[in-house]
Amino acid sequence: MQFKDIIGHHKIKTQLAQTVKDNRVSHAQLFLGPEGSGSLALAVAYAQYINCEQKSENDSCGTCSSCRKYQKLIHPDLHFSYPFFAGGEKDVATSYLEEWRAAFLDNPYMGLDYWRHQLEAGNKQANINIAEAHDIIKKLSLKAFEAQYKVLILWLPEYLNVQGNALLKLIEEPPEKTLFLLVSENQDRILNTIISRTQLVKIPKFSHSDVKQYLTAEKAIADERASEIAFIADGNVQTATELIKDETNPYFDLLINWLRFVVTDSGLHIIRLCEEDFPKLGRENQKIFLLYAISVFRQILLIQTGLSQLVLLQGKELDFVQKFGDNFIGEQLEVAIDLLEKTHYKVERNANPKILFLDLSLQLVLIFKYQTFPQGTQYI
């Protein structure tokens, strides 16, 4: 994986390369970015650049012995650790190494659910167990085989839990020429004792134009469809890749019908959606739908505040936001967005979708139909 293979993030790539040129490579770094932001790909490309034998000004050569092995993820001094799903107590990451290599090489922007699917793990709990922590210590205690640096890339350390305490001393005082590159999506779930021992590298989500360019150039998606997918994906390339399978936007009609029932307080129709349609989506599609609804409401706010030049929607979606925005004020939309974000958070934590979406719908009825705001809000 070379920097040039990763879309966007030009400033971050330059900064990472500069740390190598200035000989300021921190021994423990935390790459923090949302799912589908390319943070894992950046960590691999950074490690490859560090150990490249003929590195250029801003990228690895891609042709030396080290780069060829890195690009196949078979370099003997490159180690990976990642969550796996309810395996035996003695299972370690290397038990799934072939599946890991295949998954990353096929999709370097992958998220946890994509990885879960590769292992056919269903709804099993993700975990990095104590046996894996001990295996990391064992691997990094060995001398490097051929590279200047031994590198451990730990993907999603938030699943390490208390087992991470076994790694604290190693992270703080690693063997010479040993690098820890932690790649996380949620800083709040990582042990503070680990965060305090790492240098933070923040990776933002991709821009709409980055995702659109990726879809048109790499996936041969038509321009208008690529723009539509990029809007729904909201910077998440993993989500964008999944949406390619659908010929049309699968969420627009559902959103229109749902909001129509909400603003008219059509109780029976709302109940049917919450009892049947929303649960059928599955957890990941429920999350995407909620993020899509949030993005649509934000586009309406842009129009209402005179920033139409920033609106990304086209066609029937643009017609909808213009008409919907004519009937409601910004304060209503802001409260609705807050409720949608809270519901998304609860969906991530496996709350009951029937109850969640019914509660959300009824609160939106109060906001849009009766202009009654939830108790405690400070709007209007």
| 2 or 376: which leads in pLDDT | 2
Q: What is the pLDDT of residue 374?
A: 61
Q: How is the chain split among helix, strand and coil, in percent rounded to 5?
A: 55, 10, 35
* Residue closest to 363 by CA, chosen among 267, 289, 294, 262: 262
Q: Which amino acid is at 251?
A: Y
Task: Tally Cβ neighbours within 10 Å of residue 107.
Answer: 17
Q: What is the mean pLDDT of residues 344-370?
A: 92
Q: What is the pLDDT of residue 375?
A: 55
* Residue closest to 266 by CA, chosen among 369, 112, 125: 369
Structure confidence by residue, pLDDT tens digits, 90-118: 789 999 999 999 999 999 999 999 999 99
> How many residues does the structure list for the chain?
380
Burial bucket for residue 217 (CB in 10 Å: 0-12, 13-18, 19+): exposed
Token digits for 38? 């390319």
Q: What is the pLDDT of residue 293?
A: 95
Structure confidence by residue, pLDDT tens digits, 32-58: 999 999 999 999 999 999 999 999 999
Residues 6+ apart with CB under 8 A from 353: 274, 278, 279, 281, 283, 286, 347
Q: By the 8 A CB rule, do 343 and 335 touch?
A: no
Query: Using CA atoms, how far apart are residues 289 and 303, in angstroms rounded to an integer?
Result: 21
Q: What is the pLDDT of residue 379?
A: 39
Q: What percent of the chain has pLDDT over 70?
A: 97
pTM of the model: 0.85
Lowest mean pLDDT segment, chosen from 20-29, 145-154, 189-198, 267-276:
189-198
Token digits for 24? 């300021």
